[in-house]
Amino acid sequence: MDSRDDTPDTQHSGGITVRRALELPGLRGGLPEILAGADRLGRTVRWVHAGEVPNIASLLKGGELLLTTGYGLGTRPADQRAFVRTLAERGIAALVVELGPRFTSLPAALVEAARAAGLPLVQLHREVAFVTVTEEVHTEIVNGHYALLQRAEEVHRRCTEALLGGGGIPQVLGILADFGGNPVFLETPDGRLLYAAGTGPANADPLQVWEGLRGRHRAGPPAGTVLVDVPGGGQGGGPGSVRARLVLLPVNTPLAPVHRIATERAAGVLAVVMMQARQEEELAARGRGDFLTDLAEGRIAAGDAPAQARVLGFKPGASPLLPVVMRLADGPSPGGGWAVLARAVAEELASVGVPVLLGVRPVEGRVPLLVGLRAESERPAVADRVAAALRAGVERAGTQRPGAQPPVVVVGMAGGWAAASAGLRHAAETATAAQGLSDRPWYDARSLDIDLLLWRLRDHQDLAAFVDRAIGPLRDHDHRSKPPLLPTLETYLAHAGRKAETARELHLNRQTLYNRLARIGELLGTDLDDPQAVLALSLALRARRLVA
């Protein structure tokens, strides 16, 4: 059966069926007789059109109830069959012919063609005013659309009331699933399932339905599926962006236009809910960040901190506390945001298996956190897991700007609340000072004390003069000549003057390394075996990135 025949319920389709049109006074007064397509009177009438020209099919768009007295049908059977065939191909709802001067009864060729094409064909035995028929049918269509909109608005009203009553996304989806009689799913733009509501055939769990249709859905939604974007807050966060997608699957009963309208209304409600949730989530993350910053800067006494932390959901008991700070080089990308980052990192940290209090500090581009340890001996292992979770969260959230330096993770020393205060402050400072260093999973805050000291002197002219005196000739050489010698010096000092290890890392034979070291000593006018000279060169190399 043609899919246009599957909409007999006008209150769901918002239109009027051929059957209903024949029951209205205008057509009923014409004594209608159905000659073909009696089983297809459930077709929806989109509009009424009257005409008498042979090529009238070219003027139609489909779904019309065509009224005619037959002057355009032609006199030959072949013309009459072609007339019906082109109307059926155009997809009109029905053909209604008024008997009179042109025909006293409809030709057999016309009737046979309508039956073969499955086109409802009606003859009127009495004259009717086509304008009256048009007015009556169009009034019914408009009223039907109004009723449809009312039903959709009722869903919107119920969803709004649910939110005002303290409900959330599950309640909104439940209302939509009940209205549509089919399961509803909220998914991310890339197809990950967020929420599900309703039941499938035989009261199947919606997740079972989702799993069963996942392959088909990813290749393309099943026929009749309603897909509606939940706007705003996606990548870029600007106009036209998509935060999520509502999917209404027709696995129990077919879906009608009213279900799409209701789904669009629900999507608007969900956009507000999700925006509010993100704002609340970011506010909560900022609140935790403010607490951790106040603790670090001494505005919260160590004795008062445990009670305030419990209010924020952090209950480490008597466990040692491990301060950790992650710093993003340029803050999150515009499409990410701090709420997305905080949620992704928190979800990754859930697998670490220890109490964690995480906050965000957008102004400084920092993510401070306290981790509860069972014992201080766990510090290295927990630091590994926390650092991996932090970086995985940044990657999942998509918040790292393209081309930006990797985030820096600094881990302080474990201890009580008083130590946590100083440890957070130290870690925050050293995370800033560590920008531009070689990438590591995490840094021990103590190993960055020299970098922190140099960073504090970064704007002092004496530091720039010191760097220039210590390694200026080598820097000038590398600008003019090959091979560059600064990497050789850095590697040599990193290996504490062990030439064999330096040669292996640089993939040089020992004689080539000796020649380069000799050339470095000659350019700098210093002895690389002198401890004081080595110390000065090490400091100059570490300060070089701060005064470049």
pLDDT digits (tens, 9 = 90+) for 311-362: 788 988 888 999 999 998 765 544 457 777 787 788 888 877 888 999 988 8
Q: pLDDT band at 2, cuts 50/70/90?
A: very low
Q: What is the pTM of this model?
A: 0.51
Higher pLDDT pick, 402 / 10: 402
Span 275-300, pLDDT tens digits: 777 766 777 888 888 899 999 999 89
What is the predicted pLDDT for the residue at 402?
Answer: 65
What is the predicted pLDDT for the residue at 494?
Answer: 85
Per cent of the chain over pLDDT 90 is 31
pLDDT, average across residues 10-15 = 48
Q: Write phi, then psi, for 286 (nearest 5 degrees).
A: -65, -40
What is the predicted pLDDT for the residue at 240?
Answer: 55
3-state secondary structure of 363: coil
What domains, with CATH codes, occur in the chain? 3-140 (3.40.1390.20), 167-200+222-277 (no CATH), 300-445 (3.30.70.2730), 461-547 (1.10.10.2840)
Asked if pLDDT for residue 14 goes beyond 60, the answer is no
Q: Which of 200-209, 426-435, 498-507 has the lowest mean pLDDT?
A: 200-209
Asked if pLDDT for residue 161 goes beyond 80, the answer is yes
Per cent of the chain over pLDDT 70 is 89
What is the predicted pLDDT for the residue at 392?
Answer: 85
What is the predicted pLDDT for the residue at 276?
Answer: 73
What is the predicted pLDDT for the residue at 6?
Answer: 41
Q: pLDDT band at 15, cuts 50/70/90?
A: low
What is the predicted pLDDT for the residue at 350?
Answer: 81
Q: pLDDT band at 1, cuts 50/70/90?
A: very low
Asked if pLDDT for residue 77 goes beyond 80, the answer is yes
pLDDT, average across residues 96-106 = 91
What is the predicted pLDDT for the residue at 181?
Answer: 87
373: phi > 0 → left, psi -120 to 50 → alpha, else beta; which? Answer: beta
What is the predicted pLDDT for the residue at 194?
Answer: 75
132-162 burial, b for 16+ CB within 10 Å, e for fewer?
ebbebbeebbeebbeebeebbeebbebbeeb
Span 513-548, pLDDT tens digits: 999 999 998 888 888 888 898 888 888 888 887 786
pLDDT, average across residues 98-124 = 93
What is the predicted pLDDT for the residue at 397?
Answer: 75
Higher pLDDT pick, 145 / 443: 443
What is the predicted pLDDT for the residue at 219?
Answer: 56
Place of tokens 């945001």: 337
3-state secondary structure of 197: strand
pLDDT, average across residues 453-459 = 84
Distance CA(270)–CA(246), nearest Å, equals 9
What is the predicted pLDDT for the residue at 354?
Answer: 85
Q: How far lies 520's CA from each of 390, 418, 524, in Å?
A: 41, 47, 6
> What's at 283, amino acid-wise?
L
Asked if pLDDT for residue 369 goes beyond 90, the answer is yes
Q: pLDDT band at 237, cuts 50/70/90?
A: very low
Q: What is the mean pLDDT of the chain?
A: 84
Please say whether the beta carbons of 537 and 527 come within 8 A. Answer: no
Asked if pLDDT for residue 53 goes beyond 50, the answer is yes
CB atoms within 10 A of CB 279: 11
Q: Which of 165-169, 391-395, 423-427 has the lowest mean pLDDT?
A: 165-169
What is the predicted pLDDT for the residue at 422?
Answer: 93
What is the predicted pLDDT for the residue at 155?
Answer: 86
Please say whether the beta carbons of 7 and 15 come within 8 A. Answer: yes
**String of DSSP letters for 34-103:** EEE-GGGTTPEE-EEEE---TTGGGG--SSEEEEE-STTS-SSHHHHHHHHHHHHHHT-SEEEEE-SSS-
Asked if pLDDT for residue 450 goes beyond 70, the answer is yes
pLDDT, average across residues 121-127 = 94
Asked if pLDDT for residue 381 goes beyond 60, the answer is yes
Q: How far lies 196's CA from each of 184, 193, 230, 257, 347, in Å?
A: 6, 8, 15, 22, 20
Please say whether the beta carbons of 434 and 451 come within 8 A. Answer: yes
What is the predicted pLDDT for the residue at 401?
Answer: 63
pLDDT, average across residues 149-177 = 84
Q: pLDDT band at 403, cuts 50/70/90?
A: low
